[in-house]
Amino acid sequence: MTSPASRLRIDVLRALLVLALVLVLVLQLGVLPWLSGALAEALPDEAYMRWPVLLLAVAGLACVEVGIVCTLRLLGITRRGEVFAESSLRWVDGIIVAFVVGAAVCVATLVYQSFTVGGPPAWTLLLLLTTLGGVGMALLMSVMRTLLVQATTLRREMEAVI
Protein backbone atom coordinates (compact mmCIF):
# COMPACT_ATOMS: atom_id res chain seq x y z
CA MET A 1 0.00 0.00 0.00
CA THR A 2 1.03 3.59 -0.42
CA SER A 3 1.53 6.08 2.37
CA PRO A 4 -0.97 8.89 3.01
CA ALA A 5 1.52 11.45 1.66
CA SER A 6 1.98 9.42 -1.53
CA ARG A 7 -1.77 9.06 -1.94
CA LEU A 8 -2.16 12.82 -1.55
CA ARG A 9 0.48 13.49 -4.22
CA ILE A 10 -1.18 10.99 -6.54
CA ASP A 11 -4.61 12.54 -5.95
CA VAL A 12 -3.31 16.06 -6.63
CA LEU A 13 -1.59 14.88 -9.81
CA ARG A 14 -4.76 13.08 -10.90
CA ALA A 15 -6.79 16.26 -10.37
CA LEU A 16 -4.30 18.27 -12.43
CA LEU A 17 -4.35 15.68 -15.21
CA VAL A 18 -8.16 15.66 -15.28
CA LEU A 19 -8.09 19.46 -15.54
CA ALA A 20 -5.56 19.22 -18.38
CA LEU A 21 -7.75 16.64 -20.12
CA VAL A 22 -10.79 18.91 -19.90
CA LEU A 23 -8.79 21.86 -21.24
CA VAL A 24 -7.43 19.81 -24.15
CA LEU A 25 -10.96 18.62 -24.98
CA VAL A 26 -12.24 22.22 -24.97
CA LEU A 27 -9.36 23.24 -27.21
CA GLN A 28 -9.88 20.27 -29.51
CA LEU A 29 -13.67 20.46 -29.84
CA GLY A 30 -14.33 24.17 -29.43
CA VAL A 31 -11.43 26.52 -29.90
CA LEU A 32 -9.64 24.89 -32.85
CA PRO A 33 -12.73 24.51 -35.07
CA TRP A 34 -13.70 28.13 -34.36
CA LEU A 35 -10.14 29.36 -34.96
CA SER A 36 -9.77 27.43 -38.20
CA GLY A 37 -13.04 28.93 -39.45
CA ALA A 38 -11.97 32.44 -38.49
CA LEU A 39 -8.62 31.99 -40.23
CA ALA A 40 -10.30 30.58 -43.35
CA GLU A 41 -12.45 33.72 -43.51
CA ALA A 42 -9.52 36.07 -42.84
CA LEU A 43 -7.20 34.32 -45.31
CA PRO A 44 -9.37 33.11 -48.21
CA ASP A 45 -6.34 32.19 -50.36
CA GLU A 46 -5.32 29.59 -47.75
CA ALA A 47 -8.85 28.50 -46.79
CA TYR A 48 -8.32 25.13 -48.52
CA MET A 49 -5.88 24.27 -45.72
CA ARG A 50 -8.55 24.58 -43.02
CA TRP A 51 -9.70 20.97 -42.87
CA PRO A 52 -6.36 19.16 -43.29
CA VAL A 53 -4.67 21.33 -40.67
CA LEU A 54 -7.66 21.06 -38.34
CA LEU A 55 -7.63 17.26 -38.67
CA LEU A 56 -3.90 17.13 -37.95
CA ALA A 57 -4.33 19.38 -34.90
CA VAL A 58 -7.24 17.28 -33.59
CA ALA A 59 -5.20 14.10 -34.14
CA GLY A 60 -2.23 15.58 -32.28
CA LEU A 61 -4.44 16.55 -29.35
CA ALA A 62 -5.99 13.08 -29.37
CA CYS A 63 -2.48 11.72 -28.76
CA VAL A 64 -2.18 14.04 -25.76
CA GLU A 65 -5.53 12.77 -24.48
CA VAL A 66 -4.46 9.13 -24.83
CA GLY A 67 -1.26 9.88 -22.93
CA ILE A 68 -3.19 11.58 -20.12
CA VAL A 69 -5.74 8.76 -19.84
CA CYS A 70 -2.98 6.13 -19.74
CA THR A 71 -1.14 8.14 -17.09
CA LEU A 72 -4.35 8.43 -15.04
CA ARG A 73 -4.79 4.66 -15.21
CA LEU A 74 -1.19 4.13 -14.10
CA LEU A 75 -1.70 6.52 -11.20
CA GLY A 76 -4.75 4.52 -10.12
CA ILE A 77 -2.72 1.31 -10.25
CA THR A 78 0.07 3.00 -8.29
CA ARG A 79 -2.35 4.31 -5.66
CA ARG A 80 -3.61 0.76 -5.09
CA GLY A 81 -0.01 -0.47 -4.78
CA GLU A 82 -0.36 -2.78 -7.79
CA VAL A 83 2.14 -1.15 -10.13
CA PHE A 84 4.20 -4.34 -10.39
CA ALA A 85 1.41 -6.17 -12.20
CA GLU A 86 1.53 -7.20 -15.83
CA SER A 87 -1.60 -5.11 -16.47
CA SER A 88 0.32 -1.88 -15.90
CA LEU A 89 2.48 -2.59 -18.97
CA ARG A 90 -0.37 -2.00 -21.41
CA TRP A 91 -0.84 1.53 -20.03
CA VAL A 92 2.87 2.24 -20.43
CA ASP A 93 2.59 0.89 -23.98
CA GLY A 94 -0.31 3.29 -24.56
CA ILE A 95 1.85 6.22 -23.50
CA ILE A 96 4.65 5.09 -25.82
CA VAL A 97 2.24 4.76 -28.75
CA ALA A 98 0.76 8.19 -27.99
CA PHE A 99 4.21 9.79 -28.15
CA VAL A 100 5.15 7.99 -31.39
CA VAL A 101 1.86 8.80 -33.11
CA GLY A 102 2.05 12.41 -31.87
CA ALA A 103 5.52 12.73 -33.38
CA ALA A 104 4.21 11.22 -36.62
CA VAL A 105 1.39 13.78 -36.69
CA CYS A 106 3.97 16.56 -36.36
CA VAL A 107 5.98 15.07 -39.24
CA ALA A 108 2.79 14.79 -41.33
CA THR A 109 2.06 18.45 -40.59
CA LEU A 110 5.57 19.43 -41.69
CA VAL A 111 5.24 17.41 -44.90
CA TYR A 112 1.80 18.85 -45.65
CA GLN A 113 3.06 22.39 -45.10
CA SER A 114 6.08 21.80 -47.32
CA PHE A 115 3.70 21.11 -50.24
CA THR A 116 1.36 24.01 -49.44
CA VAL A 117 1.81 27.41 -47.83
CA GLY A 118 4.67 27.12 -45.37
CA GLY A 119 4.07 28.51 -41.93
CA PRO A 120 6.31 30.96 -40.14
CA PRO A 121 9.79 29.72 -39.19
CA ALA A 122 8.86 29.63 -35.51
CA TRP A 123 5.97 27.25 -36.29
CA THR A 124 8.25 24.96 -38.29
CA LEU A 125 10.79 25.00 -35.47
CA LEU A 126 8.07 24.20 -32.94
CA LEU A 127 6.92 21.22 -35.03
CA LEU A 128 10.51 19.97 -35.34
CA LEU A 129 11.10 20.32 -31.61
CA THR A 130 7.81 18.61 -30.82
CA THR A 131 8.73 15.74 -33.12
CA LEU A 132 12.10 15.33 -31.42
CA GLY A 133 10.47 15.64 -28.01
CA GLY A 134 7.89 12.97 -28.87
CA VAL A 135 10.53 10.55 -30.11
CA GLY A 136 12.72 11.26 -27.08
CA MET A 137 9.84 10.73 -24.66
CA ALA A 138 8.86 7.49 -26.43
CA LEU A 139 12.44 6.26 -26.02
CA LEU A 140 12.48 7.30 -22.36
CA MET A 141 9.18 5.52 -21.72
CA SER A 142 10.58 2.43 -23.45
CA VAL A 143 13.47 2.42 -20.99
CA MET A 144 11.03 2.94 -18.11
CA ARG A 145 8.96 0.03 -19.42
CA THR A 146 12.03 -2.18 -19.43
CA LEU A 147 12.74 -1.18 -15.82
CA LEU A 148 9.13 -1.95 -14.88
CA VAL A 149 9.39 -5.40 -16.48
CA GLN A 150 12.61 -6.08 -14.57
CA ALA A 151 11.12 -4.84 -11.28
CA THR A 152 7.99 -6.94 -11.82
CA THR A 153 10.10 -10.02 -12.48
CA LEU A 154 12.23 -9.39 -9.39
CA ARG A 155 9.15 -8.86 -7.24
CA ARG A 156 7.60 -12.10 -8.49
CA GLU A 157 10.86 -13.94 -7.72
CA MET A 158 11.03 -12.38 -4.23
CA GLU A 159 7.44 -13.36 -3.50
CA ALA A 160 8.23 -16.93 -4.57
CA VAL A 161 11.18 -17.03 -2.15
CA ILE A 162 9.17 -15.59 0.75
pLDDT, tens digit (0-9, with 9 covering 90-100), for 41-63: 988 888 888 899 899 999 999 99
Name the nearest CA neighbour of 83 among 153, 5, 152. Answer: 152
Taking only the tens place, the pLDDT of each residue in 84-101 is 888 899 999 999 999 999
CA pair distance 4, 75, nearest whole angstrom: 14
The residue segments making up the domain with residue 95 are 4-161
Average pLDDT of the residues in 97-116:
93
pLDDT of residue 19: 98
pLDDT of 4 over the 90 cut: no
pLDDT of residue 119: 72
Measured torsion, CA atoms of residues 144, 9, 152, 21, in degrees rounded to the nearest 10: -60
Whether this model's pTM surpasses 0.85: yes
Q: How many domains does the chain divide into? A: 1
